[in-house]
Structure 1
Amino acid sequence: MKIWVKSLGSVLIAGTLLAGGTAAGDLLSGAPHAYADEAVQRNVVNVVGNGEISIKPDIAYLTIGVEAQAATAQGAQKATAAQIAKLTNLLKNTWKLDAADIQTASFYVQPNYTYSDKEGQKLKGYNASHSLQIKYRQLDKVGQLLDDAAKNGANRIDNVRFTVENPDQFQEQVINKALANAELKAGIIAKGVKRGLGTVLSVSQGGISSAPVFEQNYLTMDKAASSESAPGSSVEPGEIKLTTSLSVQYELK
C-alpha cells in the first residue's frame, strides 16, 4: 500500500511537470523572441529622403484692389464700390475672366485718426479697401493685365503668386525622387558600417509643398505706374519647385 501511494505521488509529480511543460517552454522560448525583437531594432537604419522637381507653373493668383478715403464711412465705401465695379467689368468683359475666377479677398471700412498733444486723438476720416483674388491662366499676359487694372482704378497689388493648379499629377515623380535619395543615403550608411542594405521596414511621408518663384506682397500702384508713358509691367512666371520628404527605415543585413 505504501508502494502504491508512492507511485501515485510520482505520477502526480510527473503530471505536474508535464502540465507545466507548456508554460515553462513558453517561458524559455519567450526570452529568445524578446531578444530577437531587440536584435531587429538594433539592425535597422533610419534615413530621411528628399525629393525635388522643377516644373512650369500653369496658373497665377493675383490679389488686386482699391483703396479710398473720405470724410464719412459711407463715402469711402461708395468710392471703392464704384472702382471695384469698374474693375470687375474690365476683368469679365475685356479680359474674359469667368465669374468663378474672381473672388473678394478682403473688404473693410475703418476710421482714420490723427493724434497731437494739443487736440489728442481726432477723427480725420475713413479708409475703405476692397481686394479681389483673380485666377489667371495666360501667364504671358499677367503684366498686361496688371497694367490695365491700374489704368482702370486698381491702386493696390497685394500679391502675385505663380503655382500649379493640380500638383497631385506630379506626386509620383517627386516621391520617386525622395525614395531614390533615401536608398542612396541608407546604402552609404550600410557600407560605412560593413553591412548590407535589406528590405524597407516602414515609410512615412512629410507631405508635398510648392515654392513659388515669384511672389510680390503689397505693391501700391501710383499714377506714374498706371500712366500711358510708363513702361509695361514685366512679370516672369519662371519655374516652381515641388518638394517632399520621406522617413524610411531599412533592415541591415
Structure 2
Amino acid sequence: MKSKRNVLIGAFAAAALLLSTIAITNNNVVEANTSSTDVAEARTITAYGEGAIEASPDVAYVSVGVITEGKELAKVQAENAEKMTKVTTSLTNLGIKKEEIKTTSYSVNPKYVWDDKTGESSIAGYTVSNILEVTINDISKTGTILDAVVANGSNSVNSIRFGIKNQTDLYNKALEIAVKDAKAKAEAMGKGLSITNIQPYKITEASSRNTPVYFESAAMDLAKSSTPISEGQLKVSASVSVEFSFK
C-alpha cells in the first residue's frame, strides 16, 4: 500500500510540475507578443500630404431678383410679379431652361414708422423680394444674361458663383498628388534618422474642397451693356494622412 501511495504522489507532483512549466511558457509567449506589438507600433512615421488641381469652370450660378416697395401690398406684389415674369421670360429667350431657374427666397416685409405724438408705430408700406438662382451652363453667356435680366426689371444681383460640373477626375488627380506629397515628407523625416526603407501602412483621406470664384453685386456696373465677367480658375484640393512603417 505504501508503495502505491508513493507512486501516486510522484505522479501528481510530476503533473503539477508540467502544468507549472506550461503556464510559465505561455506567460513568456504573451509577454513576447506584447513586446513585439509595442515595438511595431512605435516604428511608424505619419505624414500629412496635400494636392491641388486648377481648372477652368464650366458652369455659373447667378443670384438675381426683383425688389419692389410701396404703400399698398397688393400693388407692390403685382408690380413684383410683373417684373419677375419679364425677367424669367428674358432668361428662357436666351436658352435657359425652366429647370435651371429656381426660386431661392420670396418675402413680404412691412415697413414701420414711429409716431412721436402717439408713441406707437404703424405700417407705412411694404417691401416684396423675389430672388432666383439661375444655372448657366454656357458661361460665355454670363455677361449677356446679366444685361438681359437688369434690362427687364431685375434690381438685385447678389452674387455670381462659378463651378465645375464633374469634379471626380480632378479630385482623384489631386489625391494622387497628396499621397506623393505625404511620401516625400515621410522620406525626408526618415532620412534624418537614417531610415530608408519605409512602406505605406495606413492611408486616410483627410478632406476635400472646391474653392469657388465669387463676384459680388456691389463691384459690378450692371447698367453698362455687355457686362464683362472673368470666371478665373478654380482649385480642386485633396489632403491625406499616411502612416509609414519601417524596420
Same fold (TM over 0.5): yes
- Alignment check: 8 A CA contact 1:65 1:155 kept: yes
Evaluate the alpha carbon distance shift between residue 200 and residue 225 of structure 1 in structure 2; reply closer, same or farther with a 3 A threshold. Answer: closer
Instruction: Quote how far apart the aligned CAs of 1:185 are.
Output: 0.6
Instruction: Quote how far apart the aligned CAs of 1:203 are.
Output: 1.2
Aligned-partner SS, 1:57: coil
Q: Distance in 1 between matches of 2:153 and 2:219?
A: 12
Residue 148 of structure 1: aligned partner: 148
- Alignment check: 8 A CA contact 1:51 1:176 kept: yes
- 1:93-132 superposed matches below 5 A: 94-115=93-114, 117=116, 119-132=119-132
Q: Distance in 1 between matches of 2:162 and 2:46?
A: 35
Q: Distance in 2 between matches of 1:46 and 1:190?
A: 10
Q: Distance in 1 between matches of 2:152 and 2:131?
A: 14
Q: Distance in 2 between matches of 1:142 and 1:149?
A: 11
- Alignment check: 8 A CA contact 2:146 2:222 kept: no
Moved more, 189-198 or 148-157: 189-198
Structure 2, unaligned runs of 5 or more: none
TM-score by length of 1: 0.89
Structure 1, unaligned runs of 5 or more: none
- Alignment check: 8 A CA contact 2:100 2:134 kept: yes
Q: Distance in 2 between matches of 1:79 and 1:220?
A: 27
Instruction: Quote how far apart the aligned CAs of 1:90 are.
Output: 1.0
Residue 17 of structure 2: aligned partner: 17
Residue 135 of structure 2: aligned partner: 135
Instruction: Quote how far apart the aligned CAs of 1:65 are.
Output: 0.6
- 2:89 maps to a residue whose letter is N
- Alignment check: 8 A CA contact 2:206 2:240 kept: yes
Aligned-partner SS, 2:61: strand
Match for residue 241 of structure 1 among 225, 228, 235: 235
- Alignment check: 8 A CA contact 1:157 1:220 kept: no
- 1:120-199 superposed matches below 5 A: 120-199=120-199
TM-score by length of 2: 0.91
Match for residue 250 of structure 1 among 224, 235, 244: 244
- 1:237 maps to a residue whose letter is E
Q: Deviations over 1:199-220 (max 9, x none)?
A: 21111112321102x3024549
Evaluate the alpha carbon distance shift between residue 72 and residue 32 of structure 1 in structure 2; reply closer, same or farther with a 3 A threshold. Answer: farther
Q: Distance in 2 between matches of 1:10 and 1:115?
A: 110
Q: Distance in 2 between matches of 1:2 and 1:131?
A: 108
Moved more, 38-47 or 74-83: 74-83
1:207 equivalent in alignment to 2:221: no
RMSD between aligned residues: 2.1
Q: Distance in 2 between matches of 1:26 and 1:166?
A: 58
Evaluate the alpha carbon distance shift between residue 155 and residue 175 of structure 1 in structure 2; reply closer, same or farther with a 3 A threshold. Answer: same
- Alignment check: 8 A CA contact 2:53 2:171 kept: no
Instruction: Quote how far apart the aligned CAs of 1:240 are.
Output: 0.2
Moved more, 33-42 or 113-122: 113-122
Q: Deviations over 1:98-156 (max 9, x none)?
A: 11111111111111223465555332211111111111022122112111111011111
Q: Distance in 2 between matches of 1:120 and 1:197?
A: 81
- 1:91 maps to a residue whose letter is L
- Alignment check: 8 A CA contact 1:156 1:219 kept: no
